Amino acid sequence: MSLLVVGLSHRSAPVSVLERAALSTDAQNKLVQDTVAAEPATEAAVLATCNRIELYADVDKFHAGVAELSTLLAQHSGVGLEELTPYLYVHYEDRAVHHLFSVACGLDSMVVGEGQILGQIKDSLARAQELHSAGKLLNDLFQQALRVGKRAHSETGIDRAGQSLVTFGLEQLAAGGAVQDWAAGKKALVIGAGSMSSLAAATLARAGVAEVVVANRTFERAERLAQILTDGDDTAAVTARAVEMAAVRHELTRADVVVSCTGATGLVLTAEAVAQAVEGRTGAPAAEITAPAAPADTARTAGKAPLPATGAGGEENCPLDLAAVQPGFSLMGEAAVAGMDAATLEQHAAWAGGGTSRLGRSREPAGGVTDRRDRRTPEADAELITALAATAASVGRIPERRKPEPVAERPAPFVFLLDLAMPRDIDAAVHRLAGVRLVDIESLAEASADAPMAADVDQVRRIVSDEVAAFGAAQRAAHITPTVVALRTMAADVVASEIARLDGRLPDLDERQRGEIRQAVHRVVDKLLHAPTVRVKQLAAEPGGAGYADALRTLFDLDPETVASVSRAVDSTETKDRPA
């Protein structure tokens, strides 16, 4: 077994990187196909969720495998390899098994203990099987991961440690209140009809919303989800209907809660669309909220340099529209260039690389100068902007990020938005609109970082450790089986040859005598081989036992091609007999 996994998740990378590296279904399929076509890999599968992208492969060379898988991830995600590499993690053999089993149990999820990951692992395996990229190793691994995840949820209270990402997101929208109390009587709009959207619709219906409207690019799927809600025993009380995607803007003016989770590569809801919906509800233009700049002495007290002031005419030859710059943003930072097209970003990168008198410094309101050596260097920012330009060239623009400074006071929201898509469906600039509360993957990651761990997590970790050991032992034992079969086949051939020779030398023996001799010789051979073959299987199942198969082949001078043919025959039989 040479299992290798290369990936990135919310634990290793910021959401902005995960968003840019997100893969469409077609891109995932192409990544799998290109991986098995590469020299080091013989099997491959992609596990892609809203907060992780992982490539699993059976490789014959570790270092070449890591290099190839990392390069393929970068190529298909559109994020440069140099930029992506710091966020990648690598697991090999038993550590890779341990990682997937932990993922299946919800230990590595943004919301610890959530069970949705099991469906995503199942989908990943099914896709690899359809592409014929999952052989014996990945089939065994993913099916065992599903069993381990189910065992963890049935034998422990890990479900109490967390909930689905949907439930967690709704709790964040409710801002600490009971979801049922918050949702009661509200009108909900669900954009998308996939598994996450379906779960969101059902959860909202059970929570007590008065109406659920489902919008999807394929209207039939939206109709099917609405019908499921109408027919469900625990959701029948809600009014459910389906609409075309073209009707989303109109439905926004009616909806109190909007949940979006589509596979779109661009924004589904722009800040302008949400602002128009707010205006349609209130009759007045949507107001924007800005955070007041922190006084310089407060910033120094907190041990942080104050944010640089920005304004028209403050930066010579800067291609950024300074009149539209949000207060509190550095002209060098990623947030300042959000929304630019590729051409403008290229100009900004050239300007940033050239440097000005204020690029390495920030001015305090009182006119003093604060050293910014603890912040990003102009060179690093220029490299980042260049990378953003490459991304903008492929997706059209850089989605705007939320302001880094928390808003001190906000009016009570009357429109609630939950964005569970990766890349995001809803423009993060919506966060600045008064009367609107937006929760997305980025804010969920921040909220979940402080979530308490349940005591059952330790029990699940023990289950994972036991299952990893059992899986490794089974794989190592299976590895030696073709060698043992080849040895017994060789012994049977020797017996047959000797019996044939005896028949020629003793032609006067009757059938009973020949049978007794044949049976005696077989018993002798079986007894001689029994103890060694049983013992070698036991030893091979232990860590470091892979060398026993090589020793057995050397001692008995077994033909490697014979062993390989036995292995292929075993794999073919198991594949044919495996249930769909």
DSSP assignment letter at 450: T
What's the burial of 497, exposed, middle or buried (CB within 10 Å: 0-12/13-18/19+)? exposed
Res 357: pLDDT: 31
Max Cα distance, the chain (Å): 118
Q: Identify whether 318 is a catalytic site residue.
A: no
pTM beyond 0.85: no
Enumerate the known binding-site residues. 49-52, 109, 114-116, 120, 192-197
Res 316: pLDDT: 65
% helix, strand, coil for the chain, step of 5: 55, 10, 35
Q: Could you tell me how many residues make up the chain?
A: 580
How far is Cα 307 from Cα 67, in angstroms, rounded to an integer?
40
Enumerate the known binding-site residues for NADP(+). 192-197
CA distance to 116, 396, 467, per residue, from 464 (Å): 18, 43, 5
Catalytic entry in 50, 105, 261, 318: 50
pLDDT tens, 496-519? 888 888 888 888 888 888 888 888
Burial readout 117-146 (b: 16 or more C-beta within 10 A, e: otherwise): bbebbbebbebbbebebbbbbbbbbbbbbb
Res 97: pLDDT: 95
Residues of the chain with pLDDT under 70: 1, 160-163, 290-317, 319-342, 352-381, 391-410, 449-455, 479, 539-546, 548-549, 560-580
